[in-house]
Structure 1
């Protein structure tokens, strides 16, 4: 490996007397003066010597400048709570040596969360004056801000297997051409002088044997991107030998640290890094000269930002558990061109952004032991599972060794780490159990369906896990989905290990390989602001990469604020299910995740019309209050007729509705009187639905569950322009026949849980927006004609309402018949009617008839799946079996008799073609047949639509 003069100087092979600017460096941590450079503003704060000079020369100018500087510092101090209580760099370093058991906070734990939340929610760049020594906010934002972690970034897509191949070595070189290295202020002058550029990196070298230590440190000191600090971590007993091995090297930025304890605890040194990046290098690894420069540049590109990069890696073969694929030796085998690829772990060398290290430090504290060959798996898996950071192995030129991860190896050789890992896999089944259960995190679920999509659950306690278990188990059983479950952590009562051990018993069978558990490891017990912020930031990173279709939870506390915020940031629907509603929502697993992602698209309004029956209104409101709403926000409008009494008005005003907004309206008497039922609602969008109820109705607790299920099933999963609504009521009497009422038994006609009937329901129903608008237009035009010129007459054969003159029901049934619209009906009723006659004599006389309207309410959870629409039985307006073709033919026949307009080719939900009266013949009497015909005046009419 060729070395230039600068390399020889840094490696220590030239005499100390030949070194220039030796006072510029130190073997210890940088001095306070070196941190007085603010990289964001590119301004060097004056030292005491500069201040004294300035005072002597220009005192007035000096005082002005000092006042401005003092104001800026005070403003920065009080706007950034993270500054207060943050230990100094020197103090943090000394504590690291004095007491190993002391826990240190990473600087990311002192984050100004209000600022960070603004950054997460706002894609615009934000410039903030940073405290001395802090990483530049712009670069920190690039690695932490979810907006920079594009869900469709190349690295994320590569890790999920949704792109066929990565970049070649030459393509990677082209990517880095337009990218500049992150640099410290002190490196500006050296870079301009042609020297290696100092970068904000702390290199941490782990050594247990000192055989290759000299070569290793020399390789780091000769990097084209020179780390700002180099720490060598070794055992206390080996410290003197380590010092002796590197005595001839340049010690200006090299520090030896003694660390005793568990084998993997040397990684805790990363918690004390103050530079923007930390480069961890395992023992006996000698990186190529441009290795660090290449990784740093690639980490700044949009393709690989937010990914763990390296040239040494391992792919675990799930099909054969005794086989692993080592990178780069498999990259160079055969004639296929080498490309970057997703791997299960990066080995030997890890370049981390400082904001990532807190995830690793927390996970380290929970590990009893991490075998040396599995450190790469620990780092890669922890970063992905807790922060959504994928591991990507990079190709390197077989000839140009400057980009190799270890220049001591040939490309056909396996690293010692890979050899040790192979030995462990082949000899120890317990190691296999550690390696393979959770490899779902790399986007390769071991399920038969390769197109399976992730569904995400969040649980905060064992109780919530038990409540959500029925849904979790049902989703797990679907081949179309695989599961991710996130938990707040052991401190709050539920760790990832507890979830793994509990799920098999909760579901009744073992499925550990198909559930990925993410432990957020929240460090607070109470649900306070810290917990809310921690969940917000950690969960955002995970969901950004996993990209589930939906997130389901049962949290009703302050944590739901975090989940809602995360949902908006990453554009993933968050479905909140109250614990008591979960048994009634198991039908959710019948739908694809694409359909469930429309959960919040459905906006169901409740419209209650009432007159002077306060006891009836109280009964209806009480039944509505006790219903299950699946965590949805449901707005309520109470529409009071002009006949409403004072008691009813007081009840409506004082009623507390906690499911959404409440609106109370009072109607003024109108002439001619129109229906309050028709005027109660008009849709604002095609996703808004209305459940229109009069005060004589009582509801089942499951009425809303039925409505939501049916809308998802027959409006979003399938769609028919003929379906105009969903009835809550299952009638026992059909009243449409002109000869009189007759009994109807739905269960005797239909065996399934639902059927379709042409009859509109007026005893509790969900109305669809497109059809309701068309009905409004139709009834407006028809009533204008009836009350005006009476140019059009519509009579549906054998329909009882055809003889009614003023009822709105007549016009609704006309439209339904002409358009062959139908409604979905349940076999078991979700609403009932309390028919109350005013006179006692009538109540006694028609007691049996009244009881037929008061049908039993269904309180049974929906267990059977609703059939497909084309499998539903269809009945006509009179409750007789019919086909859709028959209904369409009847409607077209009547339409041809009452309208002269051409039939619309496509359904536009526009009644115009139904409202065209035919031309009429006018008789003009004449005394003589030879007399000229008189001119008849043109008669104009106005029809409103």
Structure 2
């Protein structure tokens, strides 16, 4: 269309004033504006929508961090396992409550002033989501990780656990978390300040308290504990939950935790009163070791000898005075001789086990007595058989046996020491990574003063730190590895017990096929002042390259001592004319007895475990400890392996009748079995 036509069309639609000519442009008035009330309504509606969105976003458990809680940055760990974990900035999870939490705090205060605690509404965790989503780099989604969770509802229990949590965090072995549940209104910042927790404490805080906790019923609080641990488990998946089991903790909290543990199967470690002193060594363990806290089981085996009633009574009394708060009460099996004197019988009738201070709701007696029927003296083979048949591990990976001589007396902390070393050197991340359990036979509580042949005094090797390359340091007493077994006080691992059982059984079968046994088996290198089963244990240790962990002199005097004033030669050698040589006379036997009886004893000195161990409980890696051959001489690890390979080939060729050159017909190695050593036994 042309411009003229557009103009014509526009003119046709213009209003024309019939009364006269058009008004001038100066008299033009704007059209009528809508009333101001309608605009105010629109502005108010927009503001109401904005306020609603703001309150909605800030009054629900958000799934991401707000502007006051930034996600901490975790640098990636370097090096091979076990590496040190990296932590978020200390206090990163200790954020102030959101506006909804502040509002509910005022409501709770008014209700508490009125004495009301009857709220039982839906449960919301207003401050938990932020801290949980900030720890994604701790690998809480994996079944096995390095997360350990301390939890408390009572402020008194929190004051007990927080120092231990900080001590564990200092070791940099675990990601240490602390969760506050329950009904307290204190902020995490105030809780830390009251307990002296500063930025040097490397732990991660979580506020798992529900909304309106101060006016909630006990049932709602118990349910909130159960649900709170459900959320914590989903994000953290802790390998162990550590809580205060004393009367300071809230009852609803304890019930809620135990309900959660039944479902999640998480390891629960309940610390008794004064655990900061008796169980402070727990802070030295990593998450893998703590995961096995309730799974390992230790039995005690005692072989009573004739005329040793006084020694047996002293041993049982020392066992009754020991501390077993770190584990379930061990079961005791006592092998009694045929002749039992009246004093021993009266004492066993009145001896209470477990001790009276340990709760025992079922009144079950965790002790078994085995009385020998035959009055005749047993042979070496029969004695070894009877000893090995007295115990069998239900789960070889977790069940172990502590062998005690009736001449031994143990210190109150001996059981904690055994569990500490067992968890560290058998179940920790380092132990699994380096497979330390492959060569670990057992853990001794005492340090022998003479070699196992009874001829030479034994001087334990001194420990030198691996950093001492120049070798200028003379060394200090510390833990050391010795290939020689002991029968006075030693913990034998369940797998090695089964292997020893199989080794002795196959050796007995081999004897039936030989007119003259090879020297490897017939030669006796252990003094007859020790029981006969030790000879088999030494052969197995030599052929496999096993060793025992022995304490240093300063540690041994706080664990166990062996009394020699009532010493008697083992029953299988009592009527023989020798304890070292077969042609020895009565005079030599008496001199051996006197030498053992007059040997210096290690006095027991009561002391906390961490004060006993060097460097406040720091355990060096097993590969850094000095190694001693069975003769009592310190050897290099390469020489130790060379001697082991040499003895293994000798044993396989002479006793097992294997073709060591070609390996033809030789069976493969299996854990807890010695079938690869015997090619002549099916």
TM-score bin, normalised by smaller chain: 0.5 to 0.7
The aligned residue for residue 744 of structure 1 is 459
Structural RMSD (CA) = 4.8
CA separation in 2, counterparts of 1:460 and 1:681?
Answer: 43
**What TM-score do you get using the length of structure 1 for normalisation?**
0.48
Match of 2:67 among 313, 316, 319: 316
- 3-state DSSP of counterpart to 1:887: helix
Deviation at 1:730? 1.8
CA distance in 2, matches of 1:309, 1:581: 36
> Which of 649, 652, 664 is equivalent to 1:896?
649
> Are the aligned partners of 1:476 and 1:514 in contact in 2 as well (CA < 8 Å)?
no
In 2, Cα distance between equivalents of 1:760 and 1:728: 12
Q: CA deviation at 1:729?
A: 1.4
CA deviation vs aligned residue, 1:122-153 (integer Å, no higher than 9, x gap): xxxxxxxxxxxxxxxxxxxxxxxxxxxxxxxx
User: What is the CA–CA distance in structure 1 between the aligned matches of 2:125 and 2:224, rounded to whole Å?
Assistant: 17
| Alignment of 1:776 onto 2:466 | no
Alignment CA distance shift 1:845-1:663 (3 Å): closer
Give the superposition deviation at 1:560.
4.0
Residue aligning to 1:365:
107
1:631 equivalenced with 2:335 (yes/no): no
Q: Secondary structure at the match of 2:548?
A: strand
Q: Secondary structure at the match of 2:180?
A: strand
What is the rounded CA distance, in whole Å, between the counterparts of 2:46 and 2:98 in structure 1? 16
Q: State the Cα distance separating 1:759 from its structure 2 match.
A: 0.9
Matched, 1:734 2:463: no
Measured in 1, the distance between the counterparts of 2:493 and 2:419 equals: 13
Q: Could you tell which deviates more after superposition, 461-470 or 712-721? A: 461-470
Match of 2:335 in 1: 640
Within 5 A, what are the aligned runs for 1:279-358? 283=51, 315-316=66-67
* Superposition pairs of residues 648-727 of structure 1, within 5 angstroms: 648-654=344-350, 655-657=352-354, 662-669=366-373, 673-675=382-384, 676-685=386-395, 686-717=397-428, 718=431, 719-720=435-436, 721-727=438-444
Q: For 1:467 and 1:734, locate their aligned partners in 2 and report how far apart those are by CA, in whole Å.
A: 46
Alignment deviations for residues 238-290 of structure 1 (CA, whole Å, 9 cap, x no partner): xxxxxxxxxxxxxxxxxxxxxxxxxxxxxxxxxxxxxxxxxxx9855599xxx
The residue that corresponds to 2:482 in the other structure is 757
Query: For structure 1, which runs of at least 5 residues remain unmatched after alignment?
Result: 1-209, 218-233, 235-280, 296-306, 322-343, 351-358, 369-381, 391-438, 918-942
Offset at 1:811?
1.4
Partner of 2:273: 579
**2-structure distance, mates of 1:790, 1:450:** 63
How far did residue 678 of structure 1 move?
2.8
**Cα separation, partners in 2 of 1:465 and 1:645, compared to 1, 3 Å:** farther
What secondary structure, in the 3-state scheme, does the structure 1 residue paired with 2:491 have? strand
Whole-Å separation in 2 of the counterparts to 1:725 and 1:791 = 32
Q: Which is bigger in relative contact order (C-alpha 8 A, separation at least 6)?
A: 2
Structure 1 residue 747: deviation in Å?
Answer: 5.2
State the secondary structure of the residue aligned to 1:698.
strand
Shift in alpha-carbon separation, 1:588–1:804, aligned structure 2, 3 A: closer
Q: Deviations over 1:437-457 (max 9, x none)?
A: xx524324899x999964322
SS of alignment partner, residue 878 of structure 1: coil
Q: Is 1:593 the counterpart of 2:334 in the alignment? A: no
Q: Determine whether 1:831 maps to 2:560.
A: yes
Q: CA contact under 8 A between 1:496 and 1:519: conserved in structure 2?
A: no
Determine the structure 2 residue equivalent to 1:383.
Answer: 124
CA contact under 8 A between 2:164 and 2:280: conserved in structure 1?
A: yes
Instruction: List aligned pairs for 1:493-508, cutoff 5 A.
Output: 495-497=185-187, 500-504=189-193, 506-507=195-196
Contact 1:832 1:853 in 2 (8 A): yes
**Shift in Å at residue 803 of structure 1?**
8.3
User: TM-score, normalising length from structure 2?
Assistant: 0.65
| 1:627 shift after superposition | 2.6
Matches within 5 A, 1:86-125: none
Instruction: Note if 1:908 corresponds to 2:671.
Output: yes
Give the secondary structure class of the aligned counterpart of 1:316.
Answer: coil
Gaps of 5+ in 2: 1-39, 73-94, 111-122, 464-473, 569-586, 611-615
Q: 2:71, 2:258 → 1: CA distance?
A: 41
- The alignment of Structure 1 onto Structure 2 pairs a total of residues equal to 527
Per-residue deviation at 1:801? 2.3
In 1, Cα distance between the equivalents of 2:229 and 2:531? Answer: 59
* CA distance in structure 1 between the partners assigned to 2:642 and 2:150 by the alignment: 50
Q: How far has the Cα of 1:724 moved from its partner?
A: 1.0
- Alpha carbons of 1:800 and 1:366: their partners in 2 closer, same or farther (altered >3 Å)? same
